Structure 1
Amino acid sequence: MSRGIWATWYDVADADRDVFAEWERTVYLPALAAEPGYNWVARYASKSGEGIETGVFGETVVDAAKEGIGSASEYLVLVGADSPHRFLNPLVLDRNDAPYPSASEMLGKRINARHAVLLEEESVIGPDAPPEGPDVPALAIRCGNFSMRTPQEDFDAGRWYAQRRLAEMAASPGCVRTRKLMCVAGWGKHCILYEFTSPEARADLWKGFQEQRRTDPATFWTIGPQTLHAPGSPFLGQRTWSSV
């Protein structure tokens, strides 16, 4: 199982989009997938802004410039390994130029980029998970990257995921897997990776949560107002490339 994940969020200018996508698909991503110790590679394109309400806005999103982090929201590449240390020894950010042809020039076309190395804290399998196979993330994801405002709220978040959200996802139709992750390196302490059979399944589930919040607020327990999200979080994505 992939207890370590290297995440890269990035944007691409319109003028560079086609040439970068072709190079990434034919050169960069296959080369990443061939790296010893990498279990899988998956690329996602954002589906935000298509009528899907994220529920994260205003004061719950940090200022990218003040935090010194990238504000990317268009694309996300995830790489899995047995341990997060696979991405720290050697440090992946120190070797972006090799062994990929033209890597320095082409990777320079990514803008507003942000990286994180993540450790799986806990995970649950959903009702629609395949019976066997690699743990590459599913076709549709919702990936939140955030911190809590106070140490006490960290305990609130831990309790919420352990007592409610993970069990809720394990029983939700359309859910493949949910991984609660901690940030080993990069911005934010927490990351949550929800995986679904389709963007429609993801949207339907969140519509149900929103309806519950509206009609039965007494039973709708959430940590949303206590969170501080990275720009573009949560990232709602559809898989466009996978090594497995």
Structure 2
Amino acid sequence: MDQGIWAIWYDISVNDKADYLDWFHQVHIPEKLSRPGYGWAAHYELGHGGRGRGYLALFGGATTHTFLNPSPGQLALRQSAETKKFIAMRQHAAACILAEEVRVDGPDAARRGPGPTTAPVVQIGNYNAPTPAIEDDLGGWYAQQRLPLLMKLPGCVGARKMLASVGLYKHAILHEFTSLALREQHFAPHEAERDDPQTWMGRVVPQLDHAPYSPAVGCRIWPAV
């Protein structure tokens, strides 16, 4: 079971893009997947909605401790010269290690893959709730309205509500879709409710403090779709 995710957001300059992506896909991801507990990896190009731009790398593990033994800080001390060279190409990088709070499957759950790899399209949010009362309202909204909606939404593979073991922002939500077109057709109209204060979403979501790269919509570039 993959109940831990290491998420890394960053950008790459146009001049470095080709070399970096070749290294990341051909060298770095296979090296990470050879470590104990790592179950899958996915790489997304962002910029298809929301504020996030650049890239999102996701690594799935048995638990958050998969990514804490050794921790990212410890791994950085052991990096080869080649790894340091390519990691230095990242711009505006941010990361968090997330523990799964709850997961639901959508109608297209069978189209997740290969294996447990996240879907061809994701929307990810990373944010804080400023008070316990807002967290209470947020949790109720997810449990009673948003996640039940996603369980029957056409084109939805699933969703995971997560909490950060490491990271500046406590909460995260990962939505998975089979395609951008189906996301736009079936999910985007519900997202518009955030602008209506008469809805539950419109009451709670505007009070959240999102990370600069959140929310973000991405299309998977590795493994190839």
The percent of aligned pairs where both chains have the same amino acid is 37
Q: Contact 1:40–1:242 at 8 Å: present in 2 too?
A: no
Following superposition of structure 1 onto structure 2, how do residues 52-131 of structure 1 map, counting pairs within 5 Å?
Answer: 52=49, 54=50, 73-96=53-76, 98=78, 102-130=82-110
Separation in 2, partners of 1:181, 1:207: 21
The Cα of 1:40 is off from its aligned counterpart by 0.3
Separation in 2, partners of 1:159, 1:207: 21
Following superposition of structure 1 onto structure 2, how do residues 135-214 of structure 1 map, counting pairs within 5 Å?
Answer: 135-210=116-191
The Cα of 1:98 is off from its aligned counterpart by 4.7
- What residue ranges of structure 1 are gaps of 5+ in the alignment? 57-71
Q: Contact 1:127–1:170 at 8 Å: present in 2 too?
A: yes
SS in 2 for 1:130: helix
The Cα of 1:94 is off from its aligned counterpart by 2.1
SS in 1 for 2:70: coil
Superposed CA deviations along residues 122-148 of structure 1, whole A, max 9, x for unmatched, are 010000111786321100000000011
Superposed CA deviations along residues 179-214 of structure 1, whole A, max 9, x for unmatched, are 000011111110000000011111222332156678
> Which letter maps to 2:103?
S
Tell me which residue corresponds to 1:66: none
The Cα of 1:97 is off from its aligned counterpart by 6.3
Give me the CA root mean square deviation: 2.4
Superposed CA deviations along residues 2-54 of structure 1, whole A, max 9, x for unmatched, are 11100110111122111111111111112112222100011000133xxx4x4
Over 3 Å counting, the alpha-carbon distance change for 1:101 and 1:153 in structure 2 is: same
Q: Contact 2:122–2:177 at 8 Å: present in 1 too?
A: yes
Over 3 Å counting, the alpha-carbon distance change for 1:123 and 1:150 in structure 2 is: same
Superposed CA deviations along residues 84-134 of structure 1, whole A, max 9, x for unmatched, are 011112102321465667101111111111110000000100001117863
Tell me which residue corresponds to 1:44: 44
Tell me which residue corresponds to 1:3: 3
Q: How many residues align?
A: 222
Separation in 2, partners of 1:131, 1:9: 25
Over 3 Å counting, the alpha-carbon distance change for 1:40 and 1:213 in structure 2 is: closer
* TM-score normalised by L of structure 2: 0.90
Q: Contact 1:27–1:100 at 8 Å: present in 2 too?
A: no
Separation in 1, partners of 2:9, 2:194: 30
* TM-score normalised by L of structure 1: 0.83
Q: Contact 2:12–2:90 at 8 Å: present in 1 too?
A: yes
Q: Contact 1:126–1:171 at 8 Å: present in 2 too?
A: yes
Separation in 2, partners of 1:233, 1:107: 22
Over 3 Å counting, the alpha-carbon distance change for 1:132 and 1:204 in structure 2 is: closer
Q: Contact 1:31–1:100 at 8 Å: present in 2 too?
A: no
